[in-house]
Amino acid sequence: MQNISYDLITALPEIIVVSMAMLILLADFFIKPANRIVLYILAQATLLAAVCATLMTYVPSVGYAFTNTFVDDSLADILKLMTYIGTALIFVYSRQYIQQRNMYRGEFYALVLFSVLGMMIMISGQSMLTLYIGLELLSLSLYALVALDRDNARATEAAMKYFVLGALASGMLLYGMSMIYGATGSLNIAEIQSTLMSQKANSVLILGLVFIVSGIAFKLGAVPFQMWVPDVYEGSPTAVTMLISSVPKFAAFAMVIRLLAQGLGTQAMVVEWQQMLIMMAVLSIIIGNITAIAQTNLKRMLAYSTISHVGFILFGVFSASMNGLSSAMFYVASYVLMTLAGFGMILLLSRKGFEADQLENLKGLNQRSPWYAFLLMIVMLSMMGFPFTVGFIAKFSVLQAAFQAGYMWLVVFAAIMACIGAFYYLRVVWYMYFEAPNDHNPIVAPLEMRVILSLNVIALIALGVMPEILLELCGFAITKSLS
């Protein structure tokens, strides 16, 4: 507490985001509905300012602020930059959609920015207290966003489900944290780690760990805590589904790193959580891939696809090596990029009063627009893990890490499951190219959305051909903050 100016500079990106979110709330009051583009520009400017602040305050060393409740390391900075970019893409893709659905209000942008703040706090949380409050901030904003289109009964139902189950998961996480606090006497991640160095795993720690892993699994959407994922994805307005499914995964990944790899990352504890994560990873890949085959709703299908992707991310995490964690981070980054492009396509095909969320709506997309059909094909191939796309590199690197850690049979199994999963991704491609269109409405979208969506999809190929930069960035972030 001696050095408040250092604390404030370290938390500058957070301060910018929270101030601008409040400014947008106030500005909404004075701006006529016709000029609401100002709010959109303000929201994008906030993210740009946060990017600048994060880059300008970057230092290679690890800094602790606010009496060790907040950490500023390379991992935090890189994950935050990815979060800003992802959120900026969400703002671009969702503008037309929310305009058509009575959600184009200051609250939308303010709540999204508050959820971004929650993610940033989770990414930088060095104390279990900060991590938990960041998570609550994120979750509360998301519940409200799901229900924001309040005359939509399905969205309200989804929000209620999400809220009740989310509150349960938060409670479990908090209970686990209280157990860890009881066993170690500290909330601070680094202190917990140093206390545990000299301790063997006892039943208090294991109970705490079980609850913490359950809470994290819920937030990630891993089996057996996946029940909310399909319902919430399907019921939410697509713009909000895109938000829920994408950038919060960075924060959840950061929480995994902070709690499991740093706080509970001692030799005795790693063995314990590895087993739990192996179970969850295997089950997620099975249930995600097999159930997705039976879906006719595109959003539900992507929800199950998310569950299987989370399984792959956990493959990288339970390897518990530098290589495993950095490939898991690479997987998260590429997953977010693919998901944003996928939901961006659904938003592009939707129009006022019409949701393009059925697989049938994609029939004959090639005849309606060859370019968009091509883009969606790339997204699907990348999610499937086709060579020369980023999805392939991501799957390859997590499985390679698991292989190095000695889980050969699990790797073989995951590869087989990925092949089964290819069926439902390729079915989308089949619908687009080999079926006759049943919808002849023109596809209308703002220029910036079309350009950026195309660039997003091209990035999937570009990163698939030249993954070195992103791979090195992830490796750099993980080694800097874990060694």
Partner 1 sequence: MTFFGLPFHDIVFYVLAAILLYAAINVIITRNPVYAALYLVLAFFTAAGIWLLLEAEFLAITLVLVYVGAVMVLFLFVVMMLDINLDKLREGFWNALPVALPVGGLMAVEMVMIVGTRHFGVDKVAAPVAHAADYSNTAELGRVLYTDYLLPFELASVVLLVAIVAAIALTLRSRKESKSMDPAKQVLVKKEDRLRILKMDATVEKIDVIVVPTEEAK
Q: Kindly list the residues in this chain that would bind partner 1 in the complex (CB under 8 A).
A: 1, 7, 11, 18, 22, 25, 65-67, 69-70, 105, 107, 110-111, 114, 117, 121, 127, 129-130, 133-134, 136-137, 140-141, 143-144, 147-148, 150, 179, 182-183, 202-204, 207
Say how far residue 462 (Cα) sits from the centre of its chain. 21
Min separation Cβ 115 and partner 1, Å = 9
C-alpha span between 117 and 130 (Å, rounded): 12
DSSP secondary structure letter of residue 362? G
Q: Is 401 exposed, middle or buried (0-12, 13-18, 19+ CB in 10 A)?
A: buried
- Tell me whether residue 25 or residue 270 sits nearer to partner 1 (CB atom): 25
Q: Which residues contact 217 (CB under 8 A, 6 or more apart)?
A: 224, 225, 280
- Tell me whether residue 173 or residue 402 sits nearer to partner 1 (CB atom): 173
Min separation Cβ 96 and partner 1, Å = 21
- Tell me whether residue 24 or residue 332 sits nearer to partner 1 (CB atom): 24
CA angle 115, 310, 134 (to 5 degrees): 25
Neighbour count for residue 351 (Cβ, 10 Å): 17
Min separation Cβ 395 and partner 1, Å = 36
CA distances 478 to 78, 127, 259, 338, Å, are: 10, 19, 14, 22
**Which 3 state secondary structure label does DSSP give 483?**
coil
- Tell me whether residue 67 or residue 441 sits nearer to partner 1 (CB atom): 67
- Tell me whether residue 31 or residue 290 sits nearer to partner 1 (CB atom): 31
Min separation Cβ 102 and partner 1, Å = 12
**Token pair for 360:** 């049938």
Min separation Cβ 156 and partner 1, Å = 9
Min separation Cβ 18 and partner 1, Å = 6
- Strands 70-72 and 63-65, sheet pairing: antiparallel
- Measuring CA to CA, which residue among 373, 380, 338, 387 is closest to residue 443? 373
Q: Which amino acid is at 24?
A: I
- Tell me whether residue 64 or residue 476 sits nearer to partner 1 (CB atom): 64
- Tell me whether residue 146 or residue 414 sits nearer to partner 1 (CB atom): 146
Min separation Cβ 14 and partner 1, Å = 9
- Tell me whether residue 276 or residue 383 sits nearer to partner 1 (CB atom): 276
C-alpha span between 431 and 427 (Å, rounded): 6
CA distances 277 to 213, 228, 273, 282, Å, are: 8, 19, 6, 8
Neighbour count for residue 290 (Cβ, 10 Å): 16
Estimate the crossing angle of helix 298-318 against helix 390-404, to 10 degrees.
30
- HSE value, Cβ hemisphere, 13 Å, CA-based, for 62: 16
Min separation Cβ 227 and partner 1, Å = 18
Min separation Cβ 475 and partner 1, Å = 30
Min separation Cβ 273 and partner 1, Å = 18
Min separation Cβ 181 and partner 1, Å = 12
- Tell me whether residue 105 or residue 450 sits nearer to partner 1 (CB atom): 105
- Tell me whether residue 144 or residue 167 sits nearer to partner 1 (CB atom): 144
- Tell me whether residue 210 or residue 426 sits nearer to partner 1 (CB atom): 210
CB 126 within 8 A of CB 66: no
Q: Which residues contact 267 (CB under 8 A, 6 or more apart)?
A: none
C-alpha span between 390 and 327 (Å, rounded): 12
Q: Which amino acid is at 50?
A: A
Q: Which amino acid is at 16?
A: I
Helix (H) or strand (E) holding 316: helix 298-318
